[in-house]
């Protein structure tokens, strides 16, 4: 498919005198994990803008009269600009974002673009289940105390900044949630982060690796920091790394909050 936005021409209903953009978080991969409001907004939209993968996940929710604009990975600013343009023409536009739209999602690009363009289009955000909490649920209770979420993608954030964030979180004994840990073209950041964490955490620190949560190919692994890189990790993976008090129990990960003041 072309790297440019692909248009599917349907007859859109122009029932709104003033358009708006609703940025919809669709959760971690299954319609079962979407909020009722997210479903309603998608079904009532005149136009849908989103990544091909996410469009396919919600395909059965989209009306045949809705105009769909899909794109391959990247092109966030292009999608944001298109959504704002359609809304300025009077359409109700649902911008689809995986997980929660405000956590490494499309809420930021939409609002940044609107600010730069001086757009007066009404923008609202519908929350969704993010990868951190979805993965934590499948692993047990690893996020019961303070944690830090860090994306390892160095496409927009300098690698040195990512490593500094990881270092400070590790020194602060935060549970770590790693988003976008590795792709085919981006493998070094995860190796560097692992090397860094081995300086601050015990090799036996519990680690949960959740890939393709709530999808057919879902895979859940409970391992240790020392063995973390022995397992399959890709762009659909979320990694949760425990802190100094994190334990495992019957295949689950638990970070005690302090209800029992003993080990």
**Residues 100 and 213 reside in one and the same domain:** no
What's the number of domains the chain is made of? 2
User: Nearest 5 degrees, angle CA 94-CA 100-CA 105?
Assistant: 75
pLDDT of residue 1: 36
Q: What is the pTM of this model?
A: 0.89
Q: What is the pLDDT of residues 214-262, one digit of tens each?
A: 888 999 999 999 999 999 999 999 999 999 999 999 999 999 998 887 5
Nearest to 237 by CA among 220, 254, 255, 216: 220
Residue 11 has pLDDT above 70, yes or no: no
What residue numbers bound the domain in which 58 lies? 6-126
pLDDT of residue 30: 82
CATH code, domain carrying 152: 3.30.950.10
Nearest to 205 by CA among 229, 226, 181, 191: 226
**Residues 110 and 162 reside in one and the same domain:** no
pLDDT of residue 262: 53
Q: What is the pLDDT of residues 196-213, one digit of tens each?
A: 999 999 999 999 999 999
**Residues 105 and 192 reside in one and the same domain:** no
Query: Which band of pLDDT confidence, cut at 50, 70 and 90, is reported for residue 263?
Result: low
Non-local CB neighbours of 30 within 8 Å, separated by 6+ positions: 57, 214, 215
Residue 259 lies in a domain: no
pLDDT of residue 50: 95
Residue 79 has pLDDT above 60, yes or no: yes
Nearest to 113 by CA among 82, 89, 74: 82
Residue 10 has pLDDT above 70, yes or no: no
- Rounded CA separation 161/79 (Å): 27
Q: Tokens representing 79?
A: 């999608």
Q: Alpha helix locations (H) across 19-89?
A: 36-44, 52-57, 76-88
Average pLDDT over residues 131-151: 97
Residue located via tokens 């560097």: 192
CA dihedral 250, 199, 226, 151 (to 10 degrees): 80
**Residues 92 and 169 reside in one and the same domain:** no
Select from 105, 126, 147 the last residue of a domain: 126
**Residues 21 and 87 reside in one and the same domain:** yes
Residue 12 has pLDDT above 90, yes or no: no
Non-local CB neighbours of 158 within 8 Å, separated by 6+ positions: none
């Amino acid at each position: 498919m072309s790297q440019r936005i692909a248009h599917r021409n349907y007859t859109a209903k122009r029932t709104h005198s003033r358009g708006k953009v609703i940025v919809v978080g669709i959760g971690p991969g299954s319609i079962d994990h979407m909020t009722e409001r997210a479903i309603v907004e998608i079904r009532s939209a005149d136009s849908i803008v989103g990544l091909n993968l996410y469009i396919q996940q919600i395909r059965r929710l989209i009306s045949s009269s809705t105009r769909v604009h899909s794109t391959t990975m990247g092109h966030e600013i292009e999608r944001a600009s298109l959504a704002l343009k359609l809304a300025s023409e009077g359409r109700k536009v649902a911008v689809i974002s995986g997980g929660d739209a405000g956590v490494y999602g499309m809420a930021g690009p939409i609002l940044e673009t609107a600010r730069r363009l001086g757009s007066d289009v009404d923008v609202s955000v519908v929350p969704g289940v993010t990868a951190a909490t979805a993965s934590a649920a499948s692993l047990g209770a690893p996020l019961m105390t303070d944690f830090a979420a860090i994306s390892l993608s160095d496409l927009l954030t300098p690698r040195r900044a990512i490593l500094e964030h990881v270092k400070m979180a590790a020194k602060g004994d935060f549970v770590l949630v790693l988003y976008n840990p590795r792709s085919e073209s981006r493998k070094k950041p995860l190796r560097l982060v692992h090397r860094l964490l081995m300086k601050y955490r015990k090799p036996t620190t519990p680690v949960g690796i959740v890939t393709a949560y709530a999808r057919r190919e879902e895979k859940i692994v409970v391992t240790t920091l020392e063995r973390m890189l022995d397992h399959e990790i890709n762009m659909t993976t979320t990694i949760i790394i425990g802190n100094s008090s994190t334990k495992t129990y019957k295949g689950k990960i638990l970070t005690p909050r302090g209800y029992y003041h003993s080990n």
